[in-house]
Structures are given as structure tokens and as C-alpha cells.
Structure 1
Amino acid sequence: MSSIAKAKGFKNSKPGLWLSIGTSAFGAVSIVKDVKKARGENDTLKLINALVGAAALITGTALLVRELKRLGDDDVLLG
């Protein structure tokens, strides 16, 4: 198996999904900073941008959690 195929397989594995969820958590920290900065500057456009980014982050994380649950459903030991 090539290293590219291994990397693609890792993305859809449990450790890969957990890593992606962890990365999303770091993205959330950045979004919180952006929201605070936009509020401090009274910049509506920056605030909207940060909120749209937050919505995208939440949606992406929900998709990752759903995929993680699907992998768990396939595991006979988890029942």
C-alpha cells in the first residue's frame, strides 16, 4: 500500500477523526478571539465573518462526530 493510500485511510479511521475534531477545537479558540475583537471594534462585518466561520466549524465537527459514530456502529465489540 502506498503512503498516499495509507494517509487517505488514516483520515477515515477513528484516530484520524479524533485528530480532526481536536483540530476543530483549536479553530474554535481562533473564532472566539475573532468575535471578541470584532465586538471590541464594533465591526459588524468582522462579526458576521466570525459567526459564519463558527457555523462552518460546528457543521464540520458534527459531520466528523457522525462519521465517528458510524465507525463505532460497525464495531461488533461496541455492540
Structure 2
Amino acid sequence: MSKIEKAKGWKHSKPGLWLSIGTSAFGAISIAKDIRGARADNDTLKLINAVVGAAALITGTALLVRELKRLGDDDVLLG
């Protein structure tokens, strides 16, 4: 197996999924700042943009958690 193939498979490994979830947590901080800024500026369009971004972040994180659970279900040692 080449290094490129190993790198592609790492994304769907437990450490890769945990890293993606952690990255999403930093995205949540940015979205929270955007929401606060939009409310402070009373800018409805920026607020809608931030809310849509939050929805996308939540959906993406839910997909990552589901994939992590599926990896756990396949693990013989976890039961």
C-alpha cells in the first residue's frame, strides 16, 4: 500500500474522525462570533448566513459521529 493510499484511508479512521470533529468545534467558535457580530450590527443577512453555517456544521458533525459509531460497531473488541 502506497503512502497516498494510506493517507486517503486515514480520513475514515477513528483518529481522523476525531480530528474532524475537533476541527468542527473550532468552526463552532467562529460561527458563534459571527452570530454575535450580526446581532450587534442588527444585520439580518449576516445572521441568516451564520445560522445556515451553524446548521451545516451541526449536520456535518452528526455525520462524523455516525461514522465513528459505525467504526465502533465493526470493532470486535468493542462488542
What's the CA shift string for 1:7-66, capped at 9, x where partnerless? 111000000000000000000000000000000000000000000000000000000000
Q: Which runs of 4+ in 1 moved over 6 A?
A: none
With the length of structure 2 as denominator, give the TM-score of the two structures.
0.97
Q: Following the alignment from structure 1 to structure 2, what is the Cα–Cα distance between the partners of residues 48 and 2?
A: 44
Gaps of 5+ in 1: none
Q: Following the alignment from structure 1 to structure 2, what is the Cα–Cα distance between the partners of residues 8 and 22?
A: 19
What is the aligned partner in structure 2 of residue 71 from structure 1?
Answer: 71
Q: Following the alignment from structure 1 to structure 2, what is the Cα–Cα distance between the partners of residues 70 and 52?
A: 27
Q: Following the alignment from structure 1 to structure 2, what is the Cα–Cα distance between the partners of residues 67 and 5?
A: 20
Count of aligned positions: 79
Identity %: 85
Q: Following the alignment from structure 2 to structure 1, what is the Cα–Cα distance between the partners of residues 38 and 22?
A: 25
Secondary structure in 2 matching 1:76:
coil
Is 1:3 equivalent to 2:13 in the alignment?
no
Is 1:37 equivalent to 2:7 in the alignment?
no
What is the aligned partner in structure 2 of residue 17 from structure 1?
Answer: 17
Gaps of 5+ in 2: none
Q: Following the alignment from structure 2 to structure 1, what is the Cα–Cα distance between the partners of residues 7 and 38?
A: 38
Counterpart code for 1:21: I
With the length of structure 1 as denominator, give the TM-score of the two structures.
0.97
